[in-house]
Amino acid sequence: MNIHYFNFAFIHENLPGLVIGINLLDMKGEPKIIEKLNALLADEMTAISQYIIHAEMCANWGYKKLHDHIKVRAITEMKHAEKLIERVIFLEGTPKINLLNEVNIGENIEEQFKNDCRAEELAVKAYNDNIRLAMELGDHGTAYIMRSILMEEEGHLDWLEMQLEMIRQLQLKNYLMEQMS
């Protein structure tokens, strides 16, 4: 006898009309966790906006390599937002995607990197703080999701710090020559 699990209900393979609803776990999330997930979602939505604008400015200036890299980072942030939205919904909360923090647009490449670096530093701190909270409240699933996002945020921060160091060592003009298509 094969039984398939579907949306908190069991459907018997030979009796598709028979659906037995079973709530195995009450998945309603801790309100504090949902609040923190929505705050992280606002950070991610802000980062998406900031990075897309920075990517398009780089394209306009002819820095194709930077455009491509920053665009990929913006897409990664979109995937982070999607994970957070999925988790809020899973915890029976309402994702608040209309909240944005201040978007800090750099007028040149170095300023963009510094603004993005600050955003990533804040993200790393926020994810670390919220992972601790989730663990204290016994929400290991949320902590696991946030850890996966944290690792990518740390990678973004590392890349940005490396770019700023290359600008320092090579001088901005030489660095930018390498970023052209």
Nearest CA to 180 out of 62, 71, 32 is that of 62
Q: Give the whole-angstrom CA distance, residue 117 versus residue 115.
A: 5
Which domain, by its residues, includes 113? Answer: 27-178
Assess if residue 128 is contained within a domain: yes
- Taking only the tens place, the pLDDT of each residue in 151-160 is 999 999 999 9
> Confidence band (pLDDT; 50, 70, 90) for 28?
confident
Assess if residue 98 is contained within a domain: yes
Angle (CA) 78 160 95, round 5°: 25
Number of domains in the chain: 1
CB atoms within 10 A of CB 164: 17
> Confidence band (pLDDT; 50, 70, 90) for 180?
confident
- Taking only the tens place, the pLDDT of each residue in 57-113 is 999 999 999 999 999 999 999 999 999 999 999 999 999 999 899 999 999 999 999
Assess if residue 50 is contained within a domain: yes
CATH number for the domain spanning 56: value is: 1.20.1260.10
Q: Model's pTM, two decimal places?
A: 0.82
Contacts (Cβ under 8 Å, ≥6 apart) of 52: 71, 74
